[in-house]
Amino acid sequence: MQKANRLSLWLLTCLASISLIAPLTAAPSVKQPSASERWTNLEKADSPSFRRHVVPLMSRSGCSGRECHGSFSGQGGFQLSLFGYDFEKDHKEITDDQEDGVRVDKKDPTQSLILLKATNEEHHKGKERIKKGSWEYNLILKWISEGAKIDVAETGEFERLEVLPKEIVFKKTDETVQLRVLAHWKDGTVEDVTQITRFRTNDDTVSNVSDTGEVKCTGPGDTHIVAFYDNGVHPIPVMLPVSDKVGPKYPKIVTNTKVDELVLDKLRKVGIVPSDKASDTEFLRRVSLDVTGTLPTPSEVREFVADKSADKRAKKIDELLNRPAYAAWWATQMCDWTGNNAAQLRGAGEKDFNTELSRLWYDWIEARIAKNEPYDKLVAGIVLATGRTSPDQSYLDYAKEMSSYLTKNHPADIADRPNMPFFWLRQNVRKPQEKALAFAHSFLGVRIECAECHKHPFDQWTKNDFQQFQAFFEPISYGANSNVKETVSYKSMAEKLREETGETDKKKQKKAVEAAFEKLVRAGEPAPWQELFVKRISTRKLSDKEIAKLKQKNPNYNSRVATPKILGGEEVSLTDYPDPRAPLMDWMRDPQNAYFARSYVNRVWANYFGRGIVEPADDMNLANPPVNKELMDYLAEGFVAKGFDMKWLHREILNSDTYQRTWKPNDTNRLDEKNFSHMVLRRLPAEVAMDAIALATTSSQQQSIFAGDIEKRAIGPNVGSGRKGQSGYALTTFGKPARLTNCDCERTSDPTLLQTLFTRNDPELLTKLEGSSKDNAWITELRRMNGSFSAEEKKADGELRKARATRQNLKKRKEMALAKGNAKPEELKKVDELIAATEAKEKELTGTPKAPAFNQEEVIQEIYLRTVSRFPTADEMAKAKEDLASAKDPVDGVRDVLWAMLNAREFLVNH
């Protein structure tokens, strides 16, 4: 029996060396001959395959790279598809004769330009890519000698790539490991393609990789090496422990949740010990900001610290998830992901209600998050939306319904509408390709822009894949519904409105129509609204005459419509579906879907940790794998199993020790920014930062009111101000996204000089900070405690505020001039004189300082609780007391300490 097994093994090995196309049943462990073994000896060389060997070799050698012949315009009149995905095009390019020679000379193969240029025997801008007489040279020479045939049909479909070993854990720097890459084809063939595979490291400070697949350790840490062959992209984890805390030396750590268990499994491999759990105040500030975008009030901090119950953190998480601010903040983030930009919603009717439509978009999402509607159902309400809410709804009823949401008295609640069509109404998603890109980004977390023109450099998507995916969105239309003929339609209603104005001048008529349209809408009457609808798909084949007529109208008309195909899935016949988006929604709900659930999980995780399990959070591609695949799989599979329950996901993450760890690092995790061993400091998002400033400076009475009044909050329905739907100056300065591009990177957290200037002396901030006798600022509250405002004091207070604002504006002007480097000495001197004059005026108006009517220690504690949500240390208390004592007015001293805390790094970061 053993002898028979050895004979079978020998026969399979022989078959592998004899035939490259015949299906093999050999297990991956069987020794496969390498490319160099096959083609070093030209006389005994195997017959190369164009698809399996020639194209991958040219890709590995850089010939079809974007810097060379794979660029958009090619090089030297020779253009290949990027990384060699278009075999027919590349074969034609390679085998076509050229004026300066024959790229493939079948009569005298050695004189082929493809060899002469590659070896630099004939001058080549790309210099030498292969050596004459090498196995690479022989492979191409053999292919040309045998007729330079294309064999895509014969080779069949590529199935998958396998890379061995599946994981590399180095023991020391400079250690090397040789990779082995096996290509599996659907016909059963298994082939060693290591030497014709393209490799890339995702972090060369941890490891690099040679052209032949030898991985070398360059330093401690963890990354991935990615192998590219044909349509296969396969990453493998590579790491060198950062400390000696591995194996038996790793400390025993209790894991309370599955999330902790999976995170710790990875940390053990890389020798990282996680930080301790955060203090109660650190946890409370973090979870309040992350879940609700809101600072905890001072009283909330005191109550939480005083609570001695063991489950108080879990209770607080549940409480926060039930607050209106939770739904408000996460609706704002989902509006980011889905591109809710008011400026793009113009043209829905005869007059623009774009800002109000944007608000309706927000309200619809917010209502569903508030009631914890399953995520897949929420998304289906966007993806499958049409203007009319049912097939039986007439245009007249639709037009009345749209007006009902914007009527002046008692508007209808958009939340009652089963779907929300505004995602598809945007001006920047009118074309099918724009719809495809927006859909992939918003609901799959995938960037497929590259595949619009060429093969995606880091994933399996080709240009043809993109065209087939785009085909799902071809019938999605917006305007006058061409599917039905009705007595009352958009066109008839719009025409009637124009006629009723009685105007013939176009400009005057336009204004009159807008006024009439608005009047109808505000009264809740039917008005000519355009609608989102799905064009009926015709299966009739057009005649040549019809095609010629269409091309005459549109020279870019393409009579060949791609068959819709799900990304990484099967082709779909749209005649089986009244709405082509329906199969996409079914595919996304499939538990085996690799993107839908994972994209949401990843974005939620990124919100809580400052980076995703896949980073960037919206760039899920094969060459950008999760830093912890098991963790991603657990959360995504659990999310689907729990019926896409959003709150389940939040609780699963927030209740873990991983989330609740302190930001303070230890010796092993000081440099760790991607394995979640400690909390990484994160700048507050723009809306959260603006609300934090407002909460820190408002009166004690107004704090709880402001925290719950979503209408006044930046985290809430602040969909943009002004005609263009742009956010205010402060929000823009702190990185609020414009929602114009398919990229989560629109929201920025990088610190800038303008942010520093804003928190130091911007009039908007100073107005919130300074207070007056008429507003609800905390400083005003203290002034009232310290003595009532007389008529004279009110007048002096107004003059004092004016003088302070003048001084701060002058200082800001000076700082900006110095920052730009164009300040003239005489101008600076004049500004300094003005600053001195305003300071003298302030001194005069301040008058004789009063003794404080409040407890200094309590006020200092209040400042710290308002800003950094913790009590001051003994040193901080002593320093603050000194500052108050040195102030000529006790309230001015409090104001200055509060201003200093607003400018402290600790205030504007979540830790």
pLDDT digits (tens, 9 = 90+) for 597-610: 999 999 999 999 99
In the predicted structure, residue 677 carries a pLDDT above the cut 90: yes
Q: Which of 13-17, 62-66, 802-806 has the lowest mean pLDDT?
A: 13-17
> Is the pLDDT at 2 greater than 60, yes or no?
no
Band of pLDDT at residue 808, cut at 50, 70 and 90: confident
Q: How far apart are CA 442 and CA 341, in angstroms?
A: 14
Above 50 in pLDDT, residue 27? no
Per-residue pLDDT for 339 more than 70? yes
Average pLDDT score over residue span 699-708: 86
CA angle, residues 529, 534, 537, in degrees to nearest 5: 145
Nearest to 232 by CA among 19, 36, 31, 84: 84
pLDDT tens-digit series, residues 438-449: 999 999 998 887
pLDDT tier for residue 793 given thresholds of 50, 70 and 90: low
* Spatial contact of 743 and 618, defined as CB atoms under 8 Å apart: yes
Quickly list DSSP for 750-766.
Answer: ---HHHHHHHHH-HHHH
Give the pLDDT confidence score for residue 11 in this predicted structure: 34
Q: Which residue has the higher pLDDT, 438 or 541?
A: 438
Helix 375-383 to helix 596-609 angle (10° resolution) is: 110
- The answer, yes or no, to whether residue 18 has pLDDT greater than 60, is no
Q: Which amino acid is at 726?
A: Q
Q: Note the pTM of the prediction, 2 decimals.
A: 0.86
- Position 30 pLDDT exceeds 90: no
Task: Say which residues have a Cβ less than 8 Å from residue 633's Cβ, sequence separation at least 6.
Answer: none
What is the mean pLDDT of the segment spanning 181-186? Answer: 93
Least confident of 149-158, 220-229, 536-545: 536-545
Going by pLDDT thresholds of 50, 70 and 90, the confidence category of residue 98 is: low
Nearest to 437 by CA among 467, 464, 413, 478: 467
When pLDDT is averaged across residues 749-767 and rounded to a whole number, the result is 89
List Cα–Cα distances, 106 to 56, 112, 149, 696, 715, in angstroms: 21, 8, 11, 80, 69
| Average pLDDT score over the chain | 86
Q: What pLDDT score does 546 carry? A: 60
Confidence tier at 792 by pLDDT (50, 70, 90): low
Structure tokens belonging to residue 837: 């004059």
For residue 610, what are its two tokens? 């400052």
How confident is the model at residue 550, as a pLDDT?
A: 56
How confident is the model at residue 231, as a pLDDT?
A: 85
pLDDT digits (tens, 9 = 90+) for 107-125: 899 998 889 988 888 888 8
pLDDT at residue 780 above 90? no
pLDDT at position 818 is 77
Q: How far apart, in whole angstroms, are the C-alpha atoms of residue 285 and residue 294?
A: 9
Span 460-473, pLDDT tens digits: 767 778 888 888 99
Whether 317 and 654 have beta carbons less than 8 Å apart is answered as yes
Reported as a pLDDT band with limits 50, 70 and 90, residue 87 is confident
pLDDT on residue 15? 32
In this model, does residue 427 exceed pLDDT 70?
yes
Q: Confidence band (pLDDT; 50, 70, 90) for 25? A: very low
Query: What secondary structure does DSSP assign to 477-535, as a single string?
Result: EEES--S---SS-HHHHHHHHHHHH---SHHHHHHHHHHHHHHHHHTT------EEEEP
Helix (H, G, I), strand (E, B) or coil at 168: strand
Q: What is the pLDDT of residue 416?
A: 96
pLDDT at 402: 95
Asked if 424 and 348 touch (Cβ cutoff 8 Å), the reply is no
User: Which pLDDT band, with edges at 50, 70 and 90, does 31 fall under?
Assistant: low
Return the pLDDT at 103.
86
Average pLDDT over residues 577-606: 94
Dmax (CA) of the chain? 111
Q: What is the pLDDT of residue 554?
A: 58
Ordered alpha helix ranges (H), 52-190:
55-60, 87-95, 113-118, 135-145, 152-155
pLDDT at residue 567, rounded to an integer: 81
pLDDT 10s digits, 468-512: 888 899 999 999 888 888 889 999 999 999 988 888 888 898 899
Q: Which residues of 690-704 are buried (b: 16+ CB within 10 A; e: fewer)?
A: bbbbbbbbbbeebbe
Note the pLDDT of residue 868. 97
pLDDT in tens, 852-863: 667 889 999 999
pLDDT at 26 over 50: no
The confidence score (pLDDT) of residue 23 equals 35
Examine the pLDDT at 351 and tell me if it is beyond 90. Answer: no
Residue 452 has pLDDT above 80, yes or no: no
Q: Could you give the percent of the chain with pLDDT greater than 70?
A: 87
Question: Looking at residue 348, what is its pLDDT?
Answer: 75
